[in-house]
């Protein structure tokens, strides 16, 4: 037996209307819901960068005795500022070099932490490592040119 077409439409529209109302209410609840405060544990990449910074500075001091390229691989951003490639005055370059030398790894940790909130762990780690090796590539091109 066939049902009347009007009766079937009213049932579908009532079902559709119920679904959209449920979605809107859930969407509004999600908007007003408070996020949980982030603990100190969620900042572990930045804390690890702060711990690694003094170790990296000491390692650069030792690696410069073996040759410049090993130290450039570890701290490319500071060597980029040191090489007068940016044509900065000497006082500015020395100050920026000291800041970058100590802030490089905490900034890497901060970048990793922010990327990890949006991406998978491996992807965030790969992007952070690519950023570091991009800096080394720029230092190598500037040094060899």
Indicate the domain borders of the chain.
43-144
Q: Mind listing the pLDDT tens digit for each residue in 30-50?
A: 555 555 556 667 788 898 999
Q: Mind listing the pLDDT tens digit for each residue in 103-144?
A: 999 999 999 999 999 999 999 999 999 999 999 998 888 888
Q: Determine how many CB atoms are found less than 10 A away from the CB of residue 22.
A: 10
If one compares 30 and 101, the residue with the highest pLDDT of the two is 101
Cα separation of 105 and 102, whole Å? 7
- pTM of the complete model beyond 0.75: no
* Euclidean distance between the first and the last CA atom of the chain, given in angstroms as a whole number: 85
């Amino acid at each position: 037996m066939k049902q009347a077409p009007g009766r079937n439409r009213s049932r579908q529209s009532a079902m559709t209307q119920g679904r959209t109302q449920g979605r809107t209410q859930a969407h509004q609840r999600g908007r007003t819901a408070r996020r949980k405060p982030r603990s100190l544990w969620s900042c572990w990449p930045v804390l690890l960068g702060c711990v690694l910074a003094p170790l990296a500075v000491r390692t650069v001091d030792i690696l410069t005795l073996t040759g410049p390229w090993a130290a450039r691989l570890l701290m490319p951003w500071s060597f980029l500022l040191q090489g007068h490639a940016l044509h900065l005055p000497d006082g500015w370059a020395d100050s920026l070099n000291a800041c970058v030398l100590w802030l490089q790894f905490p900034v890497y940790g901060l970048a990793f932490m922010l990327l990890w909130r949006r991406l998978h762990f491996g992807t965030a780690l790969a992007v952070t490592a690519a950023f570091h090796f991009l800096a080394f590539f720029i230092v190598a091109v500037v040094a060899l040119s």
